[in-house]
Chain A
Amino acid sequence: MKQYDIVIIGGGPAGLAAAVAAKKAGNDNILILERDHELGGILNQCIHNGFGLHTFKEELTGPEYAYRFIEQVYELGIEYKLNTMVMDISADKVVTAMNREDGMFQIPAKAVILAMGCRERPRGALNIPGYRPAGIFSAGTAQRLVNIEGYMPGREVVILGSGDIGLIMARRMTLEGAKVKVVAELMPYSGGLKRNIVQCLDDYGIPLKLSHTVVDIEGRNHVSAVTIAEVGPDRRPIPGTEERYTCDTLLLSCGLIPENELSRSAGIDMSNITSGPIVNESLETSIPGIFACGNVLHVHDLVDYVSEEASRAGENAVKYINAGCKAHEGSNDIQLVATSGARYTVPSTIDPENMDKLLTVRFRVGDVYKNCYVNVYFNDERIMHNKKRIMAPGEMEQIILQKKKIEEYPDLKTITIKIEKD
C-alpha cells in the first residue's frame, strides 16, 4: 500500500475542506477515506437550500455546496478511496481500513485528520415506551430514503424533536404528499433555526408543540398511532395532557452525537460535553499529529463553520509535518474554561506560540439567554464584554481572541467564558 503524509477519515464537508486546505498549504501526499460510494457525506441528502451564505455569499443546496469542494478535490488531484471503511486508528497513527478491492490494509500516516461527522441519537437513548414496530425512523434515515432512494416511509407523520433535520423533513414529507400532523419538542424551545420553523412548519400549518414528548407508540407490526403529552419542568410527562395521533410514521430528530468510536479506541482524550476530542488551538487532539474538525469534534449549526474549521485543521496538519512532526510541548498552555451558561469551548487549550494572529473560539450555551453578555476573563480580569440580544442552545457562539492581546498577559493561565447579566 502506498504511503501518505496525511490521511483524512471521512469525505464529507469537513474532510473535503481539510484536504483542499492541506493541499493548498503545500502537501501533495494526501488520502481521503470515505465509506460511502461518493464524496460529499451527509450533504448529498440535504437537498434543501440555505448552505454557504458565509463561504460563498450565496444560498446553495447541500449537494451543490459539497460539489464546490468535490470539484476542488478533483482539480487539485487529491487522492481518495470510496466505499472504504476505516476500522481502526492506532495511537502511532497507523490507519487500518477496508474495501472490496484492496481488502483490509494499513497506512502509516504522519498526520491524521478526523472528519467522521456525527450520527443521530437513536430511539433507545430516548427511552420512549411502547411497541417497537416498523415505521419509526431517525429523521436522517428518512431523509436518505426519500431524497436519495426515492421511497416514502409513510403518509401520516408525527415528528419528535425539532432539530433542523426534523423540521426540514416535515416540509419534505409534506411536499411529497404526506400529512405531518405534529412536531413535538421535549424542551421549552426548539433546537432548530427560526427560519426552518417558519418555512418548514408555519408555511404548511404544521403545529409545533414545545415541552411535549412521545409517551406511547401503538402498533405491533407497524406504527398505527403515537401519543404525546406535555412535560413539566423536570421533563417528565404530565398525566392528563395526553393527545393521541393516528399515524403510520414516527420520525425522531432528537440531537446528534459526534461519531468517535475510532478516536476513543485510538486513546484520544474526549470531552464529556461535546462527545468529541479535546483539542488545542491547532485543532490537534491529545495524540500529536491527530487533528479533528467538523461534527466529529463538536456538532455545528452551519456547514460554513465546519468548512472553515476543517481548513484550519488541514493547514495545521501540514504545519505539523513541515515542522518535523514534533509533539506539542504544552508547558505554556492556557486553559479555556466555559462556565456560567457557556457549556464548552473548542479549542480547550491555547499555546500562544502556535496560535495565529486571530483565533476563533466556538462554544454553545446551555439555555436561552436574552439580553446577556458574553464575558471573557483573562485570569480574573474581564477582557471582553459583548452584549447579545439572544443566545440559544441550538446556535453556536464564538469569540475571537487576538494573539497580541494574549501576549500582553505573560502570566495568563486561564481564559474563562461566562454568560452574565452584566
Chain B
Amino acid sequence: MEKRELTCINCPMGCQLTVEMEGNEVLSVSGNTCPRGDIYARKEVVNPTRIVTSTVRIIGGDKERCSVKTANDIPKGKIFEIMKDIDAAVAHAPVKIGDVLVKNAAGTGVDVIATRNIHQI
C-alpha cells in the first residue's frame, strides 16, 4: 500500500488530503471536509492533468510573441516536453485566436493553439 499527500485546490481551506493506494487503485481518501476533495484526490493521484499556457515566437507580426495554450488538458508529466515543442515553434503573422501553432504537442494528441490575434505588419 502507498500513501500520497495532496492539497485540495477547490477552496481556500486547502485541506491536506491523504490518499491510500494499491497500485493504480485508490483505497481511501481522508482529510477532506467535503465531497469535492474526494473527487479531486481520486483524479489527481491517478491521472493528474494540466492546461499548459505559454507563448510562441512570431515573425512578421505587430507582436513578437503570441500567447498559446494546449487545446485540452495534458498529462502533468508531459509539461516540460510540451514546453520544448512550444519553444521551438515559430509562427508567421497573421495569427487568429484558435489557430493551431503546434500540432500534436509532444505526441500527446493535443494541439497548442493561439489565444489571441496577431496582426501582420
Contact = CB atoms under 8 A, between A and B. Distances in A.
Q: Do chains A and B touch in the complex (CB under 8 A)?
A: yes
Contacts of B6: 198
Nearest to B116: A63
A59 interface: yes
A389 B79 contact: no
B115 A61 contact: yes
Interface in B29-58: 33-34, 50-55, 57
A64 B97 contact: yes
Interface of A: 44, 47-49, 59-64, 67, 146-150, 172, 175-176, 193-195, 197-199, 202-203, 368, 370, 389-392, 394-395
Contacts of A61: 53, 67, 69, 115
Given A47-B53, A67-B116, A149-B64, A198 B13 contact: no
Contacts of A149: 64-65
B76 interface: yes
A195 B83 CA distance: 21
Contacts of A395: 12
A194 B54 contact: no
Nearest to B8: A194
B11 A389 contact: yes
Contacts of A197: 7, 9, 14
Contacts of B34: 389
B51 A147 contact: no
A175 B63 contact: no
13 contacts: A48-B53, A59-B51, A175-B80, A194-B7, A194-B9, A194-B14, A195-B10, A198-B6, A202-B7, A203-B50, A370-B13, A389-B13, A391-B12
A195 B53 CA distance: 15
A387 B97 CA distance: 43
A199 B9 contact: yes
A175 B10 contact: no
A51 B80 CA distance: 23
Nearest to B14: A194
Nearest to B82: A175
A47 B7 contact: no
A194 B55 contact: no
A49 B71 CA distance: 11
A194 B67 contact: no
Nearest to B64: A150
B21 to A, nearest CB: 18
Given A67-B97, A150-B57, A195 B9 contact: yes
Contacts of B80: 175
Contact of B115 (A47, A202, A203): A47
Contacts of A176: 54
A107 B50 CA distance: 48
Nearest to B34: A389
Contacts of A392: 12
A59 B63 CA distance: 25
B12 A175 contact: no
Given A64-B97, A64-B116, A150-B64, A194 B12 contact: yes
A199 B53 CA distance: 12
A278 B79 CA distance: 45
A44 B116 contact: yes
Contacts of A394: 12
Nearest to A390: B13
Contacts of B69: 47, 49, 61
A201 B12 CA distance: 16
Given A49-B51, A203-B79, 14 more contacts: A47-B55, A48-B53, A59-B51, A67-B97, A67-B117, A149-B64, A176-B54, A193-B12, A194-B9, A194-B12, A197-B7, A197-B14, A368-B12, A390-B12
B115 A175 contact: no
Contact of A194 (B10, B51, B57, B97): B10
Contacts of A368: 12
B3 to A, nearest CB: 17
Contact of B63 (A64, A148, A202, A390): A148
Nearest to B56: A150
A93 to B, nearest CB: 34
A150 B55 contact: yes
A5 B57 CA distance: 42
B12 to A, nearest CB: 4
Nearest to B51: A49
Contact of B53 (A49, A67, A193, A198): A49
A203 B67 contact: no
Contacts of B53: 47-49, 61
